[in-house]
Amino acid sequence: MKAIRIHSYGDVESLSYEDAPMPQAGPGDIRVRVHAAAVNPVDWKIRAGYLASMVPHKMPLTLGWDVSGVVEQVGAEVTHLSVGDEVYSRPDISRDGSYAEYMVVRASELAVKPQSLSHNEAAAVPLAGLTAWQALFDHAKLKKGERVLIHAGAGGVGSFAIQFAKWAGAHVIATASSANEGLIRNLGADEFVDYRSQRFEDVLGKVDVVLDTIGGDTQTRSVELLRSGGRLFSVVAPPDENALAAVGATGGIFMVQPSSEALGEIAKLIDAGTVRVLIDSVFPLSEARAAHLKSQTGRSKGKIVLEVVPA
């Protein structure tokens, strides 16, 4: 099969479109015929070696941990999925990924893909969707009526978080550039802050929850907005525990985990028309280098997708 692999950590030139061995499904696995894979910042961070000590991999490594495709081979212990089922997943990041024509995924990490989405659209959901879902509901325990501040609302995680929080009955505030105000409000945000011309702490009142996808000074300033009992969770950097304690808040950093159950709930919201998927751009698998370069700018609106099987 064809795959995008790296043989050592490096820049985009380390990405090689090449022949790779066909993976075989173990007893609890499923081999998926990949139709589409999404590109996420974690992909190029792993490619560059930034996460080598946290998530060790054997070389050569196939990147990509967002997938939508069709069940092609079922392990002996798998009973809930069958050959021909359309599935999607954010699989285990320690295993070979989805920048390939085929990949092997634990059956427990797969869910039936939203029926209303194409494979390109479905591949854009798992990692970003699960990150937003787990941040808001598993970690921050967001409640109806609470005020939530979502940074980088036009990005992959942010765009899902706005919609999930609105569905949950929260008062949603999002930051982005002025060019994205219409998009942010259309997704359901009640308030919008242009981070380039406004300091959010000067124009907003206290909030109950912050979803931080930026870190640095943005995270530090966000802590000051939390009311007593507030929660801040980040996907990029651990918050200062002393600063949180000083305002009577809690929080932490987390890494998204596979969850077929949550993907099933997200699929229901998508098929009901409650949540929509934003696609920034689609590249063929062979152009993964260009997709990585675009992802590294941090300026995409929604998700970047690698199309493996032409739609």
pLDDT beyond 90 at 217: yes
Residue 25's pLDDT is 95
Alpha carbon distance 127, 156 (integer Å): 9
Q: For each of the domains in the chain, give its residue range(s) and CATH number, in order of start.
A: 2-125+277-307 (3.90.180.10), 128-253 (3.40.50.720)
Residues 6+ apart with CB under 8 A from 115: 267, 271
* 256-269 confidence digits (pLDDT tens): 999 999 999 999 99
Residue 56's pLDDT is 85
Alpha carbon distance 271, 251 (integer Å): 32
Residue 270's pLDDT is 98
Alpha carbon distance 228, 140 (integer Å): 14
- Answer for the pair 233, 251: CB distance below 8 angstroms, yes or no: yes
- Answer for the pair 129, 56: CB distance below 8 angstroms, yes or no: no
Residues 6+ apart with CB under 8 A from 103: 23, 31, 32, 34, 62, 67, 69, 91, 96, 97
* 195-212 confidence digits (pLDDT tens): 999 999 999 999 999 999
Residue 55's pLDDT is 85
Alpha carbon distance 152, 145 (integer Å): 22
Residue 13's pLDDT is 97
* 144-175 confidence digits (pLDDT tens): 999 999 999 999 999 999 999 999 999 999 99
- Answer for the pair 270, 132: CB distance below 8 angstroms, yes or no: no
Alpha carbon distance 51, 53 (integer Å): 6
Give the mean model confidence (pLDDT) for residues 226-251: 97
CB neighbourhood size of 214 (10 A): 19
> Looking at the whole model, is its pTM more than 0.85?
yes
Residue 54's pLDDT is 84
DSSP letters, 215-277, are -HHHHHHHHTTEEEEEEEEESSS---HHHHHHTT-EEEE------HHHHHHHHHHHHTTS---
Task: Categorize the per-residue pLDDT at 311 as very low, low, confident or very high, splitting at 50, 70 and 90.
Answer: confident
* 48-104 confidence digits (pLDDT tens): 999 888 888 999 999 999 999 999 999 999 999 999 999 999 999 999 999 999 999
- Answer for the pair 66, 110: CB distance below 8 angstroms, yes or no: no
Of 212, 257, 256, nearest in space to 231 by CA = 212
4-7: long-range contacts at Cβ-Cβ below 8 A with a sequence spacing of 24 or more?
4/62, 4/63, 4/64, 4/99, 4/100, 4/285, 4/288, 4/306, 5/60, 5/61, 5/62, 5/63, 5/99, 6/47, 6/59, 6/60, 6/61, 6/63, 7/59, 7/60
Residue 250's pLDDT is 98
User: What percent of the chain has pLDDT above 90?
Assistant: 95
* 258-307 confidence digits (pLDDT tens): 999 999 999 999 999 999 999 999 999 999 999 999 999 988 888 999 99
* 18-37 confidence digits (pLDDT tens): 999 999 999 999 999 999 99
DSSP letters, 89-156, are E---TTS--SSBSEEEEEGGGEEEPPTTS-HHHHHTSHHHHHHHHIIIIIIS---TT-EEEESSTTSH
What's the distance, CA 140 to chain centroid? 17
Residue 136's pLDDT is 98
Residue 53's pLDDT is 87
Task: Categorize the per-residue pLDDT at 8 as very low, low, confident or very high, splitting at 50, 70 and 90.
Answer: very high
User: What percent of the chain has pLDDT above 70?
Assistant: 100
CB neighbourhood size of 253 (10 A): 16
Residue 272's pLDDT is 98
